[in-house]
Amino acid sequence: MPDVMKVLIDIMVASWSVLLDAAPWVLFGFLVAGLVKAFVPEKLVAAHLGRGLSSIVKASAIGVPIPLCSCGVIPAAAGLKKQGAGKGAVASFLVSTPETGIDSIAITWALLDPLMTLLRPVAAFVTAIATGIAVNFTEKGEPAAEPPSDVAPSGACCSCGCGHNSVEEPGVAQKIRSGISFAFGDLLGDVGGWLFGGVLLAGLISVFVSGQLVERYLSNDIIAMLMMLAISVPMYVCATSSTPIVAALALKGISPGAALVFLLAGPATNAASLPVISKLLGKRATAVYLAVIVLMSLLFGVLANHLYGWLGLNPKSWVNGGAHEEGGVFAIASALLLALLVARSRFAAWRAARQR
């Protein structure tokens, strides 16, 4: 029994250490996500996502900062398709949005290193464009979608300030309150549980996975990347919660390339969302969608390893370059605040479900 208690304490201490590093940046990321939600009109997003390469690039760029998980992005993508977006643009949005976001970029900076913080959104952006272009080819021969009747023509009012006489625009303070409410309510409720699950899994990895084990089975970079693919493709993991998992594996010796494969493929695919994506895009387009994500993840994994080597960074200790000092009062307060906010959002969701 004492041994069991010691192991449990070790897991909790390791998980708490990860949370201390991550919490301030997670809170900052959610704050910025709320401001993005408040000041970027949804109609403006939909208006630019038709068909063609420019729409694919725009959809990829729009999705990068938006913090939605692989299941949460599906309703948003379905709404874009209903508003006239092409399959390529929808596929690009489905890839770039869950693979990265302002919150996950912030936590990547906190737990990994500056280079991975830059590589992650760039790889997500390029992967999204490649996926959108490939999916666009599956649309050949299909009739063009008719513009939805409830969307105003491009010359009419959108977010340009014209034609808003009949609808009163909310003020800046109201927009900020609405965005903060969304970020620390709905959004945190969606991903908060998964974030703490990732932190706990990071603690488990720290305690039970030894450097010798990683060296023995994951020393070959290609095998390590293929294993990360096999684990991440069917697994449900959001961009934010995948980061502490990767940080724990990195400290045990996993290469940056294998880590990036997990960060790209995990959030963009899972066994639960693929059937829904199949209904949204079609079976052929979904097969292309999955194949491009897998190939691009492997390609960027190989590029990441070469880049770290070219810059003279030791692939086996790359994450140590992003190590931070032990959390002080601010980090502890942030961790406690984050835990309270997640608990509040989960309780609110539970109470709402009980009242239905």
At 249-279, the pLDDT tens digits run 888 888 899 999 999 988 888 776 788 788 8
DSSP state, residue 70: T
Please check the confidence at residue 198 and state whether its pLDDT lies above 50.
Answer: yes
- Per the structure, how many domains does the chain have? 1
Please check the confidence at residue 111 and state whether its pLDDT lies above 70.
Answer: yes
What tokens appear for 292 in the block?
């491009």
For residue 163, is it within any domain? no
Q: How many CB atoms lie within 10 A of CB 348?
A: 13
Average confidence (pLDDT) over 276-303: 91
In angstroms, the CA 251 to CA 249 distance is: 5
What tokens appear for 291 in the block?
């194949």
Q: Which residue has the higher pLDDT, 209 or 1?
A: 209
Instruction: Please say whether the beta carbons of 110 and 21 come within 8 A.
Output: yes
Instruction: Please say whether the beta carbons of 61 and 100 come within 8 A.
Output: no
Residue in this structure with the two tokens 């009747």, named with its chain if needed: 149
Q: Which of the four pLDDT bands, split at 50, 70 and 90, describes residue 70?
A: low
For residue 160, is it within any domain? no
For residue 167, is it within any domain? no
Q: How many CB atoms lie within 10 A of CB 155?
A: 9
For residue 84, is it within any domain? yes
For residue 158, is it within any domain? no
Instruction: Please say whether the beta carbons of 117 and 93 come within 8 A.
Output: no
CA dihedral of residues 345, 35, 199, 13 (deg, nearest 10): -90
Nearest CA-CA partner of 184 in 10, 344, 24, 58: 344
Nearest CA-CA partner of 103 in 301, 206, 242, 262: 242
What tokens appear for 320 in the block?
């140590």
Which amino acid makes up residue 126? V
- Rounded to a whole number of angstroms, the distance between the first and last alpha carbons of the chain is 43
pTM as predicted: 0.70
Domain that holds residue 131: 2-144+172-349
Q: What is the pLDDT at residue 146?
A: 42
Q: Helix 114-137 vs helix 87-99: angle between axes, to the nearest 10 degrees? A: 160
What tokens appear for 207 in the block?
């305690």
At 295-335, the pLDDT tens digits run 999 999 999 999 998 888 765 666 754 444 456 788 899 88
For residue 150, is it within any domain? no
Nearest CA-CA partner of 243 in 74, 330, 117: 117
For residue 153, is it within any domain? no
Nearest CA-CA partner of 61 in 119, 3, 122: 122
At 150-159, the pLDDT tens digits run 333 333 333 3
For residue 286, is it within any domain? yes
Q: Which of the four pLDDT bands, split at 50, 70 and 90, describes residue 287?
A: very high
